[in-house]
Structure 1
Amino acid sequence: MHCNGCDTHIEGDYNLPVMMQLSAPDQQFVLDFVKSSGSLKEMAQKLGLSYPTVRNRLDDIIAQLNKFESDEQDS
């Protein structure tokens, strides 16, 4: 890791928190979901998508998080 602001370098073998292992768009989805108080209906309106599409996206993210957690426990 490197900070461009203060030129600090951190090297080593570290596990990222599971949320940080998600892609940037998936992290944004989770942030928006939390900010909408967990309302899939509100998320669907905000994103201009159908409720089932938003539900499927959330299910995909949950599956990713479960895999990341499982991978962490296996190492």
Structure 2
Amino acid sequence: MSKAPTYRAPSDCPVCGDELITTRLGCRNCGSELAGEFGHCDFCALDERETELLRVFLASRGNLREVEKHLGVSYPTARARFTELLMKLGLGSDANTVPTMTREQVLSEVATGALDPAEAAVLLANLD
């Protein structure tokens, strides 16, 4: 039996923006279905980049220097990305946990391609 392609389920309602819940599960093999309200998976809401960061972090046993090397970014960028991941998973305590970089460091990271413009915009907004 060939495996069907896997798609990421959306986590937010495209109509109102509220959190979606899982209400039906099915078996590809026998066609059985189970209906009900099932618990939310925090990790299922991560995008590919965030999942890769988490995999690299776990594979490196929590060593951010190894994450930095694997992703080809600076240590402050690796740390900032990991802090953003923690915040998304509800594990960050507050905005004070976001590491600070100088404006020059952020712009330098963008210039080398180690930091994308969207991340830079968030970091620069936190500097103000």
TM-score, normalised via structure 2 length: 0.44
* TM-superposition CA deviations, 1:10-69 (whole Å, max 9, x none): 4433223222222232122111100011111111111110000010000000001117xx
* Conserved? CA contact 1:33–1:40, under 8 Å: yes
CA distance in 1 between counterparts of 2:55 and 2:30 reads: 28
Given the superposition, is the C-alpha separation of residues 10 and 39 from structure 1 closer, same or farther in structure 2, using an over 3 Å criterion?
A: same
Corresponding residue for residue 56 of structure 1: 80
* Structure with the larger helix share: 1
Corresponding residue for residue 23 of structure 1: 47
Where do 5+ consecutive residues of structure 1 fail to align?
Answer: 68-75
Given the superposition, is the C-alpha separation of residues 27 and 5 from structure 1 closer, same or farther in structure 2, using an over 3 Å criterion?
A: farther
Q: Larger relative contact order (C-alpha < 8 A, sep ≥ 6)? A: 1
The runs of 4+ residues in structure 1 deviating greater than 6 Å are none
CA distance in 1 between counterparts of 2:85 and 2:48 reads: 12
Given the superposition, is the C-alpha separation of residues 13 and 46 from structure 1 closer, same or farther in structure 2, using an over 3 Å criterion?
A: same
Letter in 2 for 1:53: T
1:12 counterpart SS class: strand
1:45 aligns with 2:76: no
CA RMSD of superposed structures (Å):
2.1
Where do 5+ consecutive residues of structure 2 fail to align?
Answer: 1-24, 92-128
**% identical equivalent positions:** 27
* Conserved? CA contact 2:50–2:85, under 8 Å: yes
Letter in 1 for 2:51: Q
